[in-house]
Structure 1
């Protein structure tokens, strides 16, 4: 059971990671649940006056998150903010992690105006991924910058890089860009640990990790490249985003409905 905590108004900012893509749930707003919803559900257990908004939209770059989400977030007067941004910037060829981090710092500076608790995120260690292994060094530089920003502005850090189980391919959705339900569940545990909130979320739940044969993994590689990698490359060439024409799933701070398993 979640313990008492000081927060009553939680607002989540970011991209597909915070929107919950990869964790489909028809009963959730926008059709996806994700780690932020899971965190809100836990925090809601011990506060009868708790409200939660999620402004994240898939595909957004840092500057878009700054331009489109910060002012609406501040208008909701949150006392708890999570902001995860930069992942879509870091994976793009030729981007500079120092420039990306400077934008993150400007966002944190604005969000800290009302003394809300702010949670930042390091990226996952991409060394396990054949596709994203090449950006591991860039991600590491970005992570160190995030930790420095957190220190300067007294933010909390949800450290995904240090969470080794997130580097297991079985934590990821078929597109290999987003976490599946188990991955989002694990991230929720990381965030709650950063907030120092005891909870009932157990490791390796809500489902066990299935085993895969080498042959099955190679077949999945080919299928993934056709279904996900090629369309992603085409969108980059056309300067398109998966978030074009998508709205925030929870634009207003409202009550949290507890999730129930079937």
Structure 2
């Protein structure tokens, strides 16, 4: 399957946060997938409109129209994680997704969405929003069935229950995690040479003892969770004032010092 115009929309996951290329410069799973697609079709053009902190309503109001205007034949649109964490009304989220995914389906483009990993084993507060995550995952499966979207099942991937697949903030994937997501999308698309074992668990290593785990969790609460709560109370987001990293369709050039996998 050959694509010529690939557009990604969404939040920090699709922007690529914590898959660092340089200071405040990120690669991410969608960029990695674009690089694999460009190996097949060097004429591929790619845009990435995703911005950290954006929720489904933001995507509907700010990203959908520019994405549609590019007339993509491939769209990456895994949405909803910020709504899960931010405790948005999931009925409202579902209605917003109906508009976004309905509009994308009407274009005839191939659309990639995903379930979300159960990070309760990674994030100390994961169980507080686990039931909401399950509900959003069911919503995503429903859209995939209804519209024939490509679904990457991150929830079923053992590798994403491993701390090594996550950055130190325990909310964003590490470079390894982004690589596995990209490999999962490539496999779901049926790309030549795609890795059917993309979701498999990493080799077992010694787990930190309970005391070390408790200390690590306490440090996470101070370094990452507390600042997030402060921003939330102030009505602020990491994405405030930011613009997309790839706002226009352009040829894909892989990082010269980073492998594509």
Fold shared by both chains (TM-score > 0.5):
yes
Report the equivalent of 1:109: 102
Report the equivalent of 1:14: 10
Are the equivalent residues in 1 in contact too, given 2:160–2:177 (CA < 8 A)? yes
Report the equivalent of 1:145: 139
Report the equivalent of 1:236: 232
Are the equivalent residues in 1 in contact too, given 2:117–2:154 (CA < 8 A)? yes
Residue 213 (1) aligns with residue 208 (2): yes
Instruction: Find 2:246's aligned residue among 227, 244, 250.
Output: 250
Are the equivalent residues in 2 in contact too, given 1:12–1:18 (CA < 8 A)? yes
Are the equivalent residues in 2 in contact too, given 1:57–1:247 (CA < 8 A)? yes
Relative distance call for 1:176 and 1:209 in structure 2 (3 A) is farther
Give the alignment's TM-score, normalised by structure 1: 0.89
CA–CA distance in structure 2, aligned partners of residues 17 and 199 of structure 1:
24
Q: Which moved more, 1:191-200 or 1:139-148?
A: 191-200
Gaps of 5+ in 2: none
CA–CA distance in structure 2, aligned partners of residues 58 and 110 of structure 1:
23
- Residues 1-262 of structure 1 correspond to what in structure 2 (within 5 A)? 5-26=1-22, 31-93=25-87, 95-128=88-121, 129-199=123-193, 213-214=208-209, 215-261=211-257
1:12-67, CA deviations, whole angstroms, 9 ceiling, x for partnerless residues?
0000000000111029xx61001001000000001121111100000001011111
CA–CA distance in structure 2, aligned partners of residues 183 and 247 of structure 1:
24
What is the RMSD computed on CA atoms of the aligned residues?
2.3
**Deviation of residue 211 (structure 1)?**
5.2
Gaps of 5+ in 1: none
**Deviation of residue 167 (structure 1)?**
1.4
**Deviation of residue 85 (structure 1)?**
1.5
Are the equivalent residues in 2 in contact too, given 1:170–1:209 (CA < 8 A)? no
3-state SS of paired residue (1:226): helix
Q: Which moved more, 1:211-220 or 1:65-74?
A: 211-220
3-state SS of paired residue (1:67): helix
1:238-262, CA deviations, whole angstroms, 9 ceiling, x for partnerless residues?
1111100111000011111123446
Are the equivalent residues in 1 in contact too, given 2:52–2:239 (CA < 8 A)? yes
CA–CA distance in structure 2, aligned partners of residues 209 and 25 of structure 1:
28
CA–CA distance in structure 1, aligned partners of residues 225 and 135 of structure 2:
25
